[in-house]
Amino acid sequence: MNKKLFSLSALALSSVLATGCSTIFDKQSADIETVPMNNYPTRDRVEYVFNCIAKHGGNLLDYVPRYNCGCKIDKIAEQLTFEEYEAATTFTMLRSTPGEKGAVFRDPKQSKSLRTRLKEAEAYAEESCFVK
């Protein structure tokens, strides 16, 4: 009997809290302006941070490189949408493909423009986040 009463009480309490929290959230969200954010998928952010730590000789257990590299991808996200970032990194990685097959990644104006923007975003991020 006590278990059944406790379960029903817990269920009632959780539904009241959920309703109250959603009502509070709705009131707050109506007051807050939404800021568009270039949201990168978590998998890509984590991959970038791991590569950044490895590139700068850090250890995954060290806090400073993790924080700085996480900051760096956030700053890049301020400068480029995910689609632009993804295209720029693809062009950058594949531009060294030799011959005619590599020309598709090296020669187009879009490729050069996006690679330049990525370099500028990375320079801004390194300066802002103190990545050495």
Q: What pLDDT digit, counting tens, does each position of 75-129 carry?
A: 999 999 999 999 999 888 888 888 888 888 888 888 899 999 999 999 999 899 8
Q: Are 85 and 41 in contact (CB under 8 A)?
A: no
Q: What pLDDT digit, counting tens, does each position of 40-64 carry?
A: 999 999 999 989 888 887 776 777 7
What are the counts of helices (DSSP H) followed by strands (DSSP E) for the chain? Answer: 6, 0
Q: Which residue type, as a one-letter code, is found at position 68?
A: N
CA distance 125 to 18: 40
Other C-beta atoms closer than 10 Å to the C-beta of 121 total 20
The model carries a pTM of 0.65
Band of the pLDDT at 36, cuts 50, 70, 90? low
Helix, strand, coil share of the chain (percent; to 5): 80, 0, 20
Domain residue spans in the chain? 1-34, 42-129
